[in-house]
Structures are given as C-alpha cells and as structure tokens.
Amino acid sequence: MTEQPRRSARSRRRIVLRGHQDLRRRRQQMYRAVAPVFRALGYRGATMKALARACGLSIPGLYRYFPAKRALAMYPLSPANQPGPDCFETPSADPLGHLRIWIEHGAVERADYLIALSLLPHLPERDRPSHDELRQCFSLHERLLSSFMERAACGLSSAAATEAAQAMLAVSFGRDVILVERSVAEMRAEFIRLARDALVPAGVDAARLDAVMTSPPPPHSCTGPCA
C-alpha cells in the first residue's frame, strides 16, 4: 500500500483558511437572506423560526451557524466577519489591486453593517457589543485602507493615509450618513473618488489608478470586506 505524502504545514494552513473562508461566505449569504426579516420585524419581532425560514433551514440548522439570534444580528460587526491574518500579506501584491478589492466589498457590504448598527439599540444592554469591540471592528478596516494607500503612493505620509482611510469610512458609516440610502454603484463611485483625491496628488498615476478602479476586482483568496 502506497503511503500518502504528508501535507506541508503551508498546505494544512491553506486548507484551514479555506474552510474559514467558506464558513464566512456562507454566513454572509445567510445574513443577506435574513435582512428583510430584520427590516420588517426588528430585532425583537424577528423569531428564530422566521429567520431560519428565510435561510431555507430548520431552527437547529440555523443554530449550526449562529448560536443565538444576537450572534446572527450582530454578525457583520463581529470578529468572525473580519479579514483573517492571512489577508493582504503578499509583499509583491499590488496595493491598488487590494484597494480595489476592499472598495468593491465595502460598497456591497455597507448594507449589512448598517442593518447590524440599526439593530444595536434594540438588543438587551448586556448583549450589546462594547464601544471597544465596535471600535476594533472599524479600526481594522482603517488600518487596511491606510496601508494600501501608503504603499501605493510613496508621497503619502502615514498621517495622510490614515486621514484618507477615515474619510472613506466616514462616508459610509459616519453619523451624518448612516441613515442615507446609497446603492452599491454610488458607494463604489464615492470610495473611488476619495481614493483618487488622496492618491493622485501624492504621485499615483491617474490613468493607471482609473484603469485599476474600473476593472473587475482581481482574484483573492479571502472573502468578506477584504476580498
């Protein structure tokens, strides 16, 4: 009997990561399926039976993915929905390509985040994420965006890159715009405009930036906001 070769540590890690990505993708799909239920009934009115039905699952089947209604309602804001440690760590990768990926998924997933934020006040106080947990969720994306822009433009300081990243998050999740309905196309265009305003004066070629931003997002192994 031929002995099967052992998988390398890198291969095993890739398999584990792929399983995590698949689970996160499935949970995101489920969240979008239950979004109309939360919009129509609110947090208290949305029963596990109604949420499970929206996902095409039984209640025990839904519990396989989310241990409680609170976990489902807050999923976009949870650590389980954040980019993993292996996202965007390839040194040779094009930072503009990474920025394009983030913009696409940021535009698509804005609705998920806004639903979760709208449900927050209706959770029992003991079940609400703390200020530090919420800050951690958005500071992660601030660091990602500022890193992409600083790497893309050698003339952009760390402080300026952070300021540009904060502006991109503010147009999506700031208090002044949180209730403003925007389509995916509108959010994509706004993110690209802000990125262009920061990067072109810092030395990024405008034609190349426009070409990257108008092309389909490049393939990436991760899902969610980082892919």
User: What would the pLDDT profile of 39-58 be if each residue is shown by its tens digit?
Assistant: 999 999 999 999 999 999 99
Residue 17 per-residue DSSP state: H
**CA dist., res. 60 & res. 37, Å (int):** 18
pLDDT band per the 50, 70, 90 thresholds, residue 105:
confident
**CA dist., res. 45 & res. 109, Å (int):** 24
More confident residue, 223 or 182: 182
Q: Which residue type, as a one-letter code, is found at position 41?
A: L
Q: 93: exposed, middle or buried (C-beta count within 10 Å: 0-12, 13-18, 19+)? A: middle
- The residue-averaged pLDDT of 212-220 equals 74
**Would residue 3 count as lying in a domain?**
no
**CA dist., res. 90 & res. 25, Å (int):** 22
More confident residue, 114 or 226: 114
**Would residue 68 count as lying in a domain?**
yes
State the pLDDT at residue 220.
Answer: 47
Give the residue among 118, 100, 121 at the shortest CA–CA distance from 110. 118
**CA dist., res. 178 & res. 99, Å (int):** 22
State the pLDDT at residue 15.
Answer: 38
Residue 12 per-residue DSSP state: H
**Would residue 2 count as lying in a domain?**
no
State the pLDDT at residue 202.
Answer: 95
Measured torsion, CA atoms of residues 52, 53, 59, 61, in degrees rounded to the nearest 10: -80
**Would residue 102 count as lying in a domain?**
yes
SS (H, E, C) 139-183: HHHHHHHHHHHHHHCCCCCHHHHHHHHHHHHHHHHCCCCCCCCCC
**Would residue 148 count as lying in a domain?**
yes
State the pLDDT at residue 99.
Answer: 92
CATH of the domain at 84: 1.10.357
pTM of the model: 0.79
User: What would the pLDDT profile of 55-92 be if each residue is shown by its tens digit?
Assistant: 999 999 999 999 999 999 999 999 888 765 555 555 55
The range of the structural domain enclosing residue 192 comes to 9-226
**Would residue 45 count as lying in a domain?**
yes
Percentage of the residues of the chain whose pLDDT score is greater than 90: 53
Q: 68: exposed, middle or buried (C-beta count within 10 Å: 0-12, 13-18, 19+)? A: exposed
User: What would the pLDDT profile of 115-137 be if each residue is shown by its tens digit?
Assistant: 999 999 999 988 888 888 888 88
More confident residue, 18 or 16: 18
Q: How many domains does the chain have?
A: 1
pLDDT band per the 50, 70, 90 thresholds, residue 218:
low
- The residue-averaged pLDDT of 128-148 equals 88
**Would residue 4 count as lying in a domain?**
no
**Would residue 1 count as lying in a domain?**
no
